[in-house]
Amino acid sequence: MSGDPEKPESPERAAVAAFADDFLTGLREWLAIPSIGVDPAHHGDVAASAHWLADALRRDGWSDVRVWDEGPALPAVYACRPAADPDAPTVLVYGHHDVQPVDPVEQWHHPPFEATVIGEELFGRGASDDKGQVAMHLLGMRAHLAATGAEHPAVTVKLFVEGEEESGSPHLTRLLDDHRDDLACDLVVFTDTPLYGRDAPTVCTGQRGVYGAEVVFTGGTSEVHSGRAGGSVPNPATAIARLVAALHDEDGRVRLPGFYTDVIEPTAAERADYAALPFDEAEWLANAGGAQGVAGEPGWSTLERVWVRPTAEVNGIHGGYTGPGLKTVVPARASVKLSFRLVPDQRPERVADALREFVARHTPAGLHAEVVPSGDGAPPYAVDVSHPAVGAVRDAVQAAFDQPVRFSRTGGSGPAALLHGWLGVPVVYLGATLPDDRIHAPNERVVVPLLLRGAEAAARLWRLLPERLS
């Protein structure tokens, strides 16, 4: 992060600095709660996490704070901080307080739920994804009020922090429907995305969607000796291998029928921003599981392949004998697990239809095929970069980080499209973590100075939005 030593410190930055120690103390306390939403044994901890956040909001002076603990959904937290002007814009900040499991725990350098500070880094499950960024917005509100000297923010700010994002948000639609009036807003600020780099801050403008399924080929009722029937009956494992081989053409393009029909390409300005970002292939590969080289669709950079191009990936192939030695059989069953990352305006249901058609075309006679979806999937989302709220976020981040800010996207998926469709308003992104924060992995961390700059950006954003959205 750069800065001008002769430039006077802004009131937002001074306020963030004044509250920084208290912010860090509170965040470490919250991170100690093991709110692992995907594990039923920790559902009580998810509830404890929700109540911790609700209590913190009340201490900060949020006037309407509720824990939504209803039906099968894990507890979510709602809060509102109204503007003095009833005609001011209303902004909904979205985040989540559930966290991923910590396995394999033996690979952690420090206990995952004993938040540990080493230099500028804070280690602990949820530090980056997503408790750190939710806490960043609490700090941003405190800084905004201190910087303006006002009792109320310049915009009405609502906070919606769900407890099931790491489980795929299975009850989010129900929460949005049950609390439509509470969540009504003019803009959503989504706070679960990273910067491109510590010295290359960016504003995210979109996320890919996802659809997953397992394709199962079944032949006989049991495996059979290959000397007795090999070459005379269809082999499900061979058929699965052929289906996988047919999934991409020689250029790496996906061969599902109509797969690219709905794809909207990024603008020339966005592609120019991507190209201007610093990219070190060796460093990128080191953070990509130690891959030995890049590959993918011709005509697109590595970043573009990850951010704005759709993909089909084989996640696992199963079938036949895989133990030690040789067992000469024709398997009765084989399967492949596939996932598709989608870009605007692809839809999971259309990809599901295309996959079924593709499988039908590649099912040999004598085999039964079944396509088993892993859920409904999540659609992609990208905000129009010319929207004035996107410009406001960019200006706020530039001012907070003291350097020019470019646009980026993220290759992962989330509920931004669902929020956009259900609430009927644009979704913009404000995050301050890094791609190498090891989210979902051992030794998750967050860089504390980045969270402080993110809080400053949020404090500035609330001041900018009334004019930009008028």
Question: Does the residue 270 lie in any domain?
Answer: no
> Are residues 363 and 227 part of one domain?
yes
Question: What pLDDT does 445 receive?
Answer: 98
- Neighbouring C-alpha atoms within 13 Å toward the C-beta of 13: 15
> Are residues 463 and 369 part of one domain?
no
Question: In 3D, which of 239, 262, 205, 230 has the Cα closest to residue 407?
Answer: 205
Question: Does the residue 295 lie in any domain?
Answer: no
Question: What pLDDT does 313 receive?
Answer: 97
CATH of the domain at 355: 3.30.70.360
Determine the distance from the C-alpha atom of residue 194 to the mean position of all C-alpha atoms in its chain, rounded to a whole number: 9
> Are residues 352 and 435 part of one domain?
no
Question: Does the residue 222 lie in any domain?
Answer: yes
> Are residues 121 and 91 part of one domain?
yes
Question: What pLDDT does 319 receive?
Answer: 95
Instruction: Judge contact between 135 and 20, C-beta under 8 A.
Output: no
How far is Cα 274 from Cα 270, in angstroms, rounded to an integer?
Answer: 6
CATH of the domain at 179: 3.40.630.10
Question: What pLDDT does 6 receive?
Answer: 57
Mind listing the pLDDT tens digit of every residue in the chain (470 residues)?
555 555 678 999 999 999 999 999 999 999 999 999 999 999 999 999 999 999 999 999 998 999 999 889 999 999 999 999 999 999 999 999 999 999 999 999 999 999 999 999 999 999 999 999 999 999 999 999 999 999 999 999 999 999 999 998 999 999 999 999 999 999 999 999 999 999 999 999 999 999 999 999 999 888 888 888 888 899 999 999 999 999 999 999 999 999 999 999 999 999 999 999 999 999 999 888 888 999 999 999 999 999 999 999 999 999 998 999 999 989 999 999 999 999 999 999 999 999 999 999 999 999 999 999 998 899 999 999 999 999 999 999 999 999 999 999 999 899 999 999 999 999 999 999 999 999 999 999 999 999 999 999 999 999 999 999 98
> Are residues 203 and 177 part of one domain?
yes
Instruction: Judge contact between 154 and 148, C-beta under 8 A.
Output: yes
How many structural domains comprise the chain? 2
- Using the 3D structure, point to which of 355, 373, 391 is the last residue of a domain: 373
| Predicted TM-score of the model (pTM) | 0.91
- Using the 3D structure, point to which of 324, 340, 373 is the last residue of a domain: 373
Question: Does the residue 299 lie in any domain?
Answer: no
Instruction: Judge contact between 88 and 464, C-beta under 8 A.
Output: no
Question: What pLDDT does 5 receive?
Answer: 53
- Using the 3D structure, point to which of 373, 390, 419 is the last residue of a domain: 373
Question: What pLDDT does 310 receive?
Answer: 98
> Are residues 233 and 198 part of one domain?
no
> Are residues 423 and 348 part of one domain?
no
> Are residues 250 and 120 part of one domain?
no
> Are residues 103 and 153 part of one domain?
yes
Q: Tell me, letter by letter, the H, E, C secondary structure of 67-135.
A: EECCCCCCCEEEEEECCCCCCCCEEEEEEECCECCCCCHHHCCCCCCCCEEECCEEECCCCCCCHHHHH
> Are residues 125 and 229 part of one domain?
no
Question: Does the residue 317 lie in any domain?
Answer: yes
Question: Does the residue 281 lie in any domain?
Answer: no
Question: What pLDDT does 2 receive?
Answer: 54
Question: Does the residue 272 lie in any domain?
Answer: no
> Are residues 322 and 402 part of one domain?
no
Range of the domain at 257: 209-263+310-373
How far is Cα 234 from Cα 224, in angstroms, rounded to an integer?
Answer: 11
> Are residues 324 and 450 part of one domain?
no
Question: In 3D, which of 247, 253, 301, 249 has the Cα closest to residue 278?
Answer: 301
Question: What pLDDT does 178 receive?
Answer: 95
Question: Does the residue 273 lie in any domain?
Answer: no
Alpha helices in 121-225 (DSSP H): 131-148, 172-178, 180-183
Question: What pLDDT does 3 receive?
Answer: 55
